Amino acid sequence: MTPLEAVVLVFVIGCALAAALLRDVLSAIIAFAAYSLGIAVIWVILQAPDVALTEAAVGAGVMTLLLLLTIAKTVRPESDASFEDVRPRSLVVVVAFAAVLLATVPALPAIGAETPVTTGEVTSYYLENAYEETEVGNAVTAVLAAYRGFDTLGEAVVVFSAVVAVLMVLRREVMA
């Protein structure tokens, strides 16, 4: 673990906790935007530049914009305290959930080790043949647009449905 990774990971957890515990919704949204930016840096560290670009543009950008538009359309609840009350009942459930997840961590391979994900048949095929077969230099783009093109078509259908759903739900507010 490099110092940069440690700092970014601690920053990300801190931002997530801030978003969870700050009572004021605007503060929580700002904490979430910082969280998305930290996550985008983690994607760069993990050699995933495409995911980092998408996360920074969509996660930190569009998502924050949507959240801000929502609280502009609604009202910020008047807050007497700056932090949420933590109720023990749900804390117990969440700590148990964390314990179960942490118990699985030792069974996972070390980060950066050769695993079936990184050296398996499918990955090897994409890395060896993507450029010859699709003439796209970026293997991520090649898989996204060529090999798994139907997935991307499905994604486009989801985005289209979401736009239709948003317009239907907001018709009275937006159009009138």
Partner 1 sequence: MILDILLTRYNYVVVALLLPVGAYMMIENRNLVKKVIGMNVFQTGIFLFFITAAYREGASPPLVGDGGAGVTYVSPLPHVLILTAIVVGVSLTAVALALIVRIYAQYGTLDERRLREAYADE
Determine if residue 47 is left, alpha or beta; phi over 0 gives left, psi from -120 to 50 gives alpha, anything else beta: left
Total site size for partner 1, rule CB under 8 A: 95
Of residues 82 and 115, the one with the C-beta less far from partner 1: 115
Position 146 contacts partner 1 (CB under 8 A): no
Rule CB under 8 A: which of 44-83 touch partner 1?
46-51, 54-55, 58-59, 62-63, 66-67, 69-71, 73-75, 77
Interaction mask 78-107, partner 1, x per CB under 8 A:
------x-xx--xx-xxx-xx--xx-xxx-
The answer to whether 139 contacts partner 1 (rule: CB under 8 A) is: yes
Selected from 108, 121, 150, 175, the binder of partner 1 by CB under 8 A is 108
Question: Under the criterion CB under 8 A, does residue 34 sit at the interface with partner 1?
Answer: no
Asked whether position 138 contacts partner 1 by CB under 8 A, the answer is yes
* Cβ atoms of residues 126 and 147 within 8 Å: yes
Letter string b/e over residues 18-50, b meaning 16 or more CB atoms within 10 A of that residue's CB = bbeebebbebbbbbbbbbbbbbbbbbeeeeeee
What are the phi and psi torsion angles at 83 (to 5°)?
A: -120, 150
Contact 63, 28 (CB under 8 A): no
